[in-house]
Structures are given as C-alpha cells and as structure tokens.
Homo-oligomer: A and B are copies of this chain.
Amino acid sequence: MSQELKQPEWADHASERLADAGYRRGGARSAVIDLLARQDCALSAFEIEEALRADGGRPVARASVYRVIDELEQLKLISRIEVGHGISRYEAVHPGGHHHHHHLVCDACEKVIPFEDDELERTIHRVADRVAFDVAEHEIVLHGSCGDCGPRASRRSA
C-alpha cells in the first residue's frame, strides 16, 4: 500500500539546489516543494493546485504550479511520468536513487500505485548497457486493474 514515506529532507535538498541555481525563495515555489515532499507517489499539476488550495494555507495559481514543476524538472529534482489519460504527473527524485520506483496504473479508476523491484532494476540496467544508446533514465508502467476494481475488471465502461 504505497508506504507513506514523507521525506522532509527532500524539501531541504530541493531548496538548496534551487538556491545554488540562483533562484529566490518565493512562496508559491516553497508551497509546491513542501507538498511534493509529503507525497509518496506522483501528482498531476491539477492535483497539486487542488491540494494547495485545500491544504489550508497557500493557494498557488496554475501557471505557477507549472513554472515550479518546470524548474524542478530541469534540475532533475522531480521526474515526470506519463501514464496516459493525457496528463503528466510529477514526483520527487531522491538523491542516490533512494525510493526509486515504477508505477501500476489502474485503467478502470485511473489510480497510480508505486512499486519497487530490484531484479527489474538490474535487468533494466543490463539492457541499458546493451543498446546503442546512452540511457539516462527509464520509466516502466504496468497497466491493468487494481484490487479495488476487481482482478477481472480490466475492460471499462467509461
């Protein structure tokens, strides 16, 4: 069940790297970083905006969410994942590859669930060495249906 990691250290890490890169401390940026630091899996831009608006404290305009996301992605502090349905999702990248994971996507309820597998990582690295291509990152998405939607509910009415 997506192990609720919560890594405030990442927020500090990200803030430092941003400062190193010459960015100032704006409120919208901090709010997005703090929110992302508290997640255990990827959020869409809309979900980020929504969560910040509900969170009590600091509503952040959609445009700012996208701008912060863009900065963080360029510094490789977050990674973008594309699981279909036309939207991008973003999640913290922890230094040293800790908590590196991939995603199960329920095509019925659109839920995104993280999973880790060391053997898969080893295999991917072996493949990366084998191809005539300089591999920097990899993304693995398993589509199907989650427990809630029933092990047989792959096909959907929507």
Residues in A lying within 8 Å of B, measured CB to CB: 1, 80, 82-84, 86, 88, 104, 106-107, 113, 115, 117, 119-120, 123-124, 126-128, 130-147, 151-154
Contacts and interface: CB of A to CB of B under 8 A. Distances in A.
Number of copies of this chain in the oligomer? 2
A84 B84 contact: no
A144 B136 contact: yes
B133 A146 contact: yes
A101 B124 CA distance: 14
Contact of A134 (B119, B128, B141, B151): B151
A132 B147 contact: yes
Contacts of A117: 127, 130
Contacts of A151: 134
